[in-house]
A = this chain, B = another copy of it.
Amino acid sequence: MPEPSLDVLCIGNAIVDVIADTTDAFLDREGLVKGTMRLIEADEAERIYAHMGPAHQVSGGSAGNTAAGVAALGGRAGFIGQVAPDQLGEFYRHDLTAAGVEFITPAADVGAPTARSMILVTPDGHRTMNTFLGAAQHLPASALDEEQIRNSAILYLEGYLWDPETPRYAMVRAIAVAREARRKVAFTLSDIFCVDRHRDGFNRLLDERRIDILFANQAEIEALAGVAHLETAVAAIAPKVETLVVTRSEDGALAVRGDERSDVAAEPIAKLVDTTGAGDLFASGFLVGEARGLGLERSLRLGAICAAEVIQHYGARPEADLRALAGGLLA
Contact = CB atoms under 8 A, between A and B. Distances in A.
Contacts of A86: 86-87
Nearest to A54: B95
Interface string A93-106: 01110110000000
Interface string A58-95: 11000000001000000000000000001110010011
A225 interface: no
Given A49-B94, A94-B49, A54 B99 contact: yes
Interface of chain A, main secondary structure:
mixed
Given A86-B87, A113-B87, A56 B94 contact: no
A315 interface: yes
A317 interface: yes
A95 B319 CA distance: 26
Contacts of A59: 54
Contact of A94 (B55, B99, B113, B319): B55
A95 B317 CA distance: 24
B98 A53 contact: yes
Nearest to A319: B21
A330 interface: no
A52 interface: yes
A94 B57 contact: no
Contacts of A58: 56-57
A95 B86 CA distance: 20
21 contacts: A20-B98, A21-B319, A49-B94, A50-B94, A52-B98, A53-B98, A54-B68, A54-B94, A54-B96, A54-B98, A54-B99, A54-B317, A55-B91, A55-B95, A56-B56, A56-B57, A57-B91, A86-B86, A86-B87, A87-B88, A87-B113
A98 B319 CA distance: 29
Task: State which size class the interface on A falls in.
Answer: 20 to 34
Contacts of A98: 20, 52-55
Minimum-distance CB pairs A-B, first 8: A57-B57, A54-B95, A87-B87, A56-B58, A53-B98, A54-B98, A54-B99, A87-B88
Contacts of A55: 91, 94-95, 98
Interface in A3-21: 20-21
A68 B52 CA distance: 15
A6 B87 CA distance: 33
Given A52-B98, A55-B91, 15 more contacts: A21-B319, A49-B94, A53-B99, A54-B59, A54-B95, A54-B99, A55-B98, A56-B57, A56-B315, A57-B57, A57-B91, A86-B86, A86-B87, A87-B87, A87-B88
A316 to B, nearest CB: 11
A55 B94 CA distance: 8
Interface in A280-319: 315, 317, 319
Nearest to A55: B95
A53 B68 CA distance: 12
A85 to B, nearest CB: 11
A53 B317 CA distance: 12
